[in-house]
Amino acid sequence: MTDVIIRRFEPSDTDAVLALDERAMGGDQARVEVQRETSDGYRDFLLRYIPYPREDGMYAFAVYTDITDQKERERYLQVMHRVLRHNLRNDINVVLALARRLREHVADEALADHAATLESNAQDIASLSEKTKEIERVIGRRSDEAGTVDAAAYLRETVAAFRESHPDASLALDVPEPLWVRGTEDLGRAFEELVENALEHSDADAPALRIDAERGDSDLVRLRFRDNGPGIPAVEWGVVTGETDITQLNHGSGLGLWLVRWLVEAFGGEISRDERDDETTVVVSLRRARPSGTQAESVSGQTASEN
């Protein structure tokens, strides 16, 4: 354990500390991140001032919390994420371009099939890179950034897009319209991932997905995504929800469900699943919200049903 013996104040944060002194003397709590030389060398600290009054004036406790390990993890993840994402994107773009040229110009049918497989796999990796960037943004989101949005509108847009891109699939939507919940436009991204997951991983001759909503007496709206596919493997679901530890063997096969989970949880919601009758249902529970005055006047409260 590190002995927090403050040996020297760094000139680089002297002004910040003096500013905290002034705020504390004014009765305000304040904090700043500083670096100090300790018995174990330089360490990162969160310095907090907690003021309290006495008869002869205002005093303050200075509380140092060692955050060195946390800062190191943050710096490590930043470097790894930026370097890997940048290099990965550049290299994958080269692989995609070459695979496409091979597929289009190779006369041998077997080699053309190999090139097509290479192109498909490279596209999957490129998609992972983009989802990693989205997840980085989502994790940094605060729940108080959410507003009031119409989930039904985002669902309609999502279903319409996938009906066009997957004409052989059956997509049914039955939700109240409007459906006001707490969130941002990023909810549409979560819906896209859920619909794509249901259709892309279906082993049925005719993939089918039905989306409906349940509004009970609670403050939650439950959106049910029910498909006729093989379902999400229990191990993969357990890893995403935190019920199963991430190991070399158990780590999930993609980032889509992670993105859905973190998007939904960022707005105070949660995801769960229900498997019965040879169907898989992913349930997205979102916090109900009241529309603003302008929004309330512009809607009629109808029910949207598309089959």
What are the φ/ψ torsions at residue 180 (nearest 5 degrees)? -80, 125
76 pLDDT band, cuts 50/70/90, is low
Q: 279 pLDDT exceeds 70?
A: no
Mean pLDDT for the stretch of residues 224-229 = 89
Q: Which of 307, 120, 255, 279 is nearest to 204 (CA)?
A: 279
Q: Is 146 in contact with 138 (CB distance < 8 Å)?
A: no
Ramachandran angles phi, psi of 302, nearest 5°:
-80, 175
Q: What is the model's pLDDT at position 296?
A: 47
Segment 262-273 shows an average pLDDT of 87
64 and 4 in contact (C-beta within 8 Å)?
yes
At residue 71, the pLDDT reads: 79
CA–CA distance from 9 to each of 18, 34, 42, 45, 98 (Å)? 11, 9, 11, 12, 56
Interval 44-54: pLDDT, tens: 888 887 877 78
Average pLDDT over residues 234-238: 75
% of the chain residues with pLDDT over 70: 69
In one-letter notation, the amino acid at residue 183 is G
Mean pLDDT of 195-207: 85
Q: Is residue 120 pLDDT above 70, yes or no?
A: yes
Q: In terms of pLDDT, which residue wins out, 143 or 212?
A: 212
Distance CA(192)–CA(85), nearest Å, equals 23
Model confidence at 304, in pLDDT bands (50, 70, 90)?
A: low
Q: What confidence category does residue 159 fall into, taking pLDDT thresholds of 50, 70 and 90?
A: very high
What tokens does 218 get? 């609670």
Residue 171: CB atoms within 10 Å: 21
pLDDT value at position 84?
A: 64
pLDDT value of residue 8: 40
State the helix-helix crossing angle for 109-139 and 256-266, rounded to 10 degrees.
20
118 pLDDT above the threshold of 70 = yes
